[in-house]
């Protein structure tokens, strides 16, 4: 997963699948757009005017942990 924020456009993007594929944008609200890829799977999310919708100081910078379980 990749999370990016553009402070010039105030756009927060969450990319769940970075593979190259045809994407269709589906607006689900006034400020939220889903990026839908192959097999109607959601591959991303865009939040417009993100600084007015989210507390970005709590969200950014993002840190992630990956846990692997052995059987």
Q: Do 36 and 2 touch, CB atoms closer than 8 A?
A: no
The tens digit of pLDDT for each residue in 21-48 reads: 999 999 999 999 999 999 999 999 999 9
Tell me: the pLDDT tens digits for 52-71? 988 877 766 665 555 565 54
Q: Phi and psi dihedrals of 53, rounded to 5? A: -105, -30
Residue 30 is classified by DSSP as S
DSSP 8-state symbol, 64:
-
**Where in the chain are the domains?**
2-56
Instruction: Determine contact, residues 1/64, Cβ cutoff 8 Å.
Output: yes
Q: Band of the pLDDT at 19, cuts 50, 70, 90?
A: confident
Q: What is the pTM of this model?
A: 0.72
**Strand spans (E) along 19-71:** 24-27, 32-36, 42-48
């Amino acid at each position: 997963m990749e999370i990016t924020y553009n402070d010039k456009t105030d756009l927060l993007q969450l990319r769940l699948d970075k593979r190259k594929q045809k994407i269709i944008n589906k607006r689900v609200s006034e400020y939220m757009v889903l990026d839908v890829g192959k097999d109607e799977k959601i591959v991303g999310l865009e939040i417009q005017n993100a600084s007015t919708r989210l507390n970005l100081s709590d969200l950014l910078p993002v840190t992630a942990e990956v846990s692997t379980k052995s059987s």
